[in-house]
Structure 1
């Protein structure tokens, strides 16, 4: 399972995905159908996400298919920034559809 913070035109979102990478073409296509065509994404440790989101994480994971899927765990940028230090972020993944 991968967790990532995606910086989009409307602000950051935290999502969980069963795709192997945050730039997987199928994930990118799913994001595109949601109107997200450009983003900068950073991996965050799944165990940190579990610890910070507790039962909300478990509810979302119970809804997540084990293959080729994604769930948005948090879309409140203020909340995401309060939960994660920039030092926790992995290397950036850039996607620009233009």
Structure 2
């Protein structure tokens, strides 16, 4: 997974698990666009690149444990 993210230029991130149904409900049409993006070369989809939208859509208590990653 980390190699695939790095291949998309994502080498440093903070991620949280959220239930897929909740993400779909909160992101609405954007979720469907990302899910069905035929221009992607693999099955990895990034729903929110900068996190600002996620911070507006979810409270901290709705988010799972944080996952931190920074390439060496």
TM more than 0.5: yes
Looking at secondary structure, tell me which structure has more strand per residue: 1
Aligned residues, how many? 69
Structure 2 match to 1:58: 32
TM-score scaled by length of structure 2: 0.71
Unmatched segments (≥5 aa) in structure 2: none
Unmatched segments (≥5 aa) in structure 1: 1-26
Structure 2 match to 1:47: 21
With over 3 angstroms needed to count, the CA separation of the structure-2 counterparts of 1:39 and 1:55, relative to structure 1, is closer
TM-score scaled by length of structure 1: 0.56
The one of 12, 20, 31 equivalent to 1:38 is: 12
Moved over 4 A (4+): none
1:88 aligns with 2:65: no
> What is the CA distance between 1:42 and its match in structure 2?
1.2
Relative contact order higher in (CA < 8 Å, ≥ 6 apart): 2
What is the RMSD of the two structures over their aligned residues, measured on CA atoms?
A: 2.1
